[in-house]
């Protein structure tokens, strides 16, 4: 890539977010930035965009692949923001659909949240967010148009697996399979997508210190739109992103009737496993990853999420259950029965059969071997 940029055969990736914004906004109407958003939500995105762009240029030390990825992700976030604003300006009802109370899986990265999430989402009485929708939140602007997002995601995953053979070891996904709503947070420029790929400590500090209400108002609008288009608004959506544990007050302001499933795992095991995943992602995009800093940073981040989650859960009086990582390893069926009972949800034979299939599929996958990537990084 570097040679192609130097020779002029390909344009060098632009990482100035002012330029990226100007290039994108010229293709949209003046009202598309706001759509149905509050003025403070509009301002929050612009302030985040400026701070993230500065951190990427000044701190991330990206290699050529990382620069290409950063250009793609920043451009995508801007375009999606404007496309969603246009959709809600034209069809404002989509952002305000009434939703069934969601089931929210709360927990640290690598604490068993993915396993719990996919087991619960397998229940036909629930709904989950497809991977293709999580990273491509803008549906066709008319219900009769074909939805090409599964095809786009399949092609994107094909390319990602070629670049990173560890992808399915770290977090196995399929285009139409249920996945976390991380892409929806990314589209609002929450830091949790970006500081797991790039060394951008100033942006992490900037974001951690801000109120996340604009982020979660955007997430609710996207969820309402997704549920309306998929015909699943009447089903409880099973949701999970590790970042939720850091932002529970703002999340629960949007979903006060939520049921919570809290995933728990030992602090030291969470830190070690999180560094395994993050080191793999960062090493692809930078040749100057400081592993000592990374370990200190994730020790700090895990402790921050533990403390913020503890305070928020102490004030939560809705249905809630705690599931411990080792207990799930020992007897996941018993733990899921306990989960359903605590949340006062019916557990049908159809649900158990679907969860058995999901467990069998995941038990034979590569996900359980992810720690090897961290060992290899250390050796390097």
Describe the chain by its helix, strand, coil percentages, rounded to 5.
65, 5, 30
Q: How far apart, in Å, are the Cα atoms of 287 and each of 169, 198, 199, 241, 281? A: 22, 11, 11, 28, 12
User: What domains can be seen in the chain, in order of their start residue?
Assistant: 102-379 (3.40.50.300)
Spatial contact of 228 and 80, defined as CB atoms under 8 Å apart:
no
From residue 228, how far is each of 98, 139, 301, 312, 328 by CA, in Å?
A: 9, 10, 35, 30, 34
pLDDT of 112 over the 50 cut: yes
Q: What residues form DSSP beta bridges with 264?
A: 324
Please give the helix or strand (H or E) that residue 30 lies within, else none.
none
Decide: 160 and 154 in contact? Cβ < 8 Å.
no
In the chain, count H helices and then E strands: 19, 5
pTM over 0.85: yes
Strand-pair partners of 263? 323
Which letter does DSSP use for residue 38 in this model? -
Token pair for 274: 């999180």
Contact in structure between 105 and 240 (CB atoms under 8 Å):
yes
CA atoms 340, 345, 348, 354: torsion sign: negative
Instruction: Give the closest residue to 229 by CA, choosing from 117, 122, 149, 114.
Output: 149
Tens of pLDDT, residue by residue over 116-158, are 999 999 999 999 999 999 999 999 877 788 999 999 989 988 8
Interval 259-269 mean pLDDT:
97
| CA distances (Å), origin 84, targets 23, 36, 225 | 17, 9, 10
d(CA 172, CA 361): 11
The SS3 call for residue 106 is strand
Residue 378 has pLDDT above 70, yes or no: no
Rg (CA), the chain: 20
Strands, E, within the chain: which ranges?
Answer: 103-106, 127-128, 237-240, 259-264, 320-324
Q: What does the pLDDT read at residue 6?
A: 78
pLDDT tens per residue, range 300-350: 999 999 999 999 999 999 999 999 999 999 999 999 999 999 999 999 999
Whether the CB-CB separation of 149 and 226 falls below 8 Å is answered with no
Q: Which residues contact 67 (CB under 8 A, 6 or more apart)?
A: 13, 15
Q: Which two tokens stand for residue 107?
A: 């927990």
pLDDT band at 365 (very low <50, low <70, confident <90, very high): low
Which residues are paired to 259 by β-bridges? 103
Q: Locate 199 and state its tokens.
A: 């060394």
- Joined together, the tokens standing for residue 331 give 């007897």
Determine the Cα–Cα distance for residues 283 and 263; give it in Å rounded to an integer. 28
Q: Is the pLDDT of residue 24 over 60?
A: yes
pLDDT at residue number 363: 73
Please give the full DSSP string across 43-58, using - where no structure is assigned. Answer: HHHHHHHHHHHHHHHH
What confidence category does residue 371 fall into, taking pLDDT thresholds of 50, 70 and 90? very low
């Amino acid at each position: 890539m570097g040679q192609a940029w130097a020779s002029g055969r390909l344009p060098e990736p632009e990482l100035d977010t002012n330029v990226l914004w100007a290039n994108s906004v010229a293709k949209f109407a003046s009202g598309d930035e706001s759509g149905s958003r509050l003025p403070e939500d509009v301002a929050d995105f612009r302030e985040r965009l400026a701070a993230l762009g500065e951190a990427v240029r000044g701190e991330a030390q990206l290699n050529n692949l990382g620069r290409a990825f950063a250009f793609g992700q920043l451009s995508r976030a801007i375009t999606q923001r404007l496309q969603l604003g246009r959709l809600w300006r034209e069809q404002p009802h989509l952002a305000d659909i009434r939703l069934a109370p969601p089931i929210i899986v709360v927990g640290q990265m690598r604490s068993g949240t993915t396993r719990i999430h996919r087991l619960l989402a397998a229940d036909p009485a629930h709904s989950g967010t497809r991977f293709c929708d999580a990273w491509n939140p803008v549906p066709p602007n008319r219900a009769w148009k074909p939805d090409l997002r599964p095809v786009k995601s399949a092609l994107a995953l094909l390319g990602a697996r070629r670049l990173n053979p560890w992808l399915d070891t770290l977090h196995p996904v399929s285009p139409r399979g249920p996945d976390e709503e991380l892409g929806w947070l990314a589209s609002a420029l929450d830091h949790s997508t970006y500081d797991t790929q790039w060394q951008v400590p100033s942006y992490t500090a900037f974001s951690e210190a801000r109120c996340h209400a604009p982020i979660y108002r955007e997430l609710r609008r996207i969820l309402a739109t997704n549920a309306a288009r998929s015909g699943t608004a009447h089903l409880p959506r099973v949701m999970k992103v590790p970042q939720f544990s850091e932002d529970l007050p703002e999340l629960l302001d949007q979903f006060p009737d939520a049921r919570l499933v809290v995933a728990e795992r030992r602090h030291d095991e969470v830190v070690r496993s999180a560094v395994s995943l993050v080191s793999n992602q960062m090493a692809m995009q930078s040749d100057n990853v400081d592993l000592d800093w990374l370990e200190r940073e994730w020790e700090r981040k895990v402790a921050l999420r533990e403390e913020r989650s503890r305070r928020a859960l102490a004030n939560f009086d809705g249905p809630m259950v705690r599931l411990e990582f080792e207990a799930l390893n020992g007897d996941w069926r018993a733990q899921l029965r306990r989960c359903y009972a605590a949340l006062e949800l019916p557990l049908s034979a159809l649900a158990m059969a679907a969860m058995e299939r999901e467990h069998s599929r995941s038990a034979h996958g590569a996900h359980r071997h992810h720690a090897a990537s961290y060992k290899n990084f250390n050796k390097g």
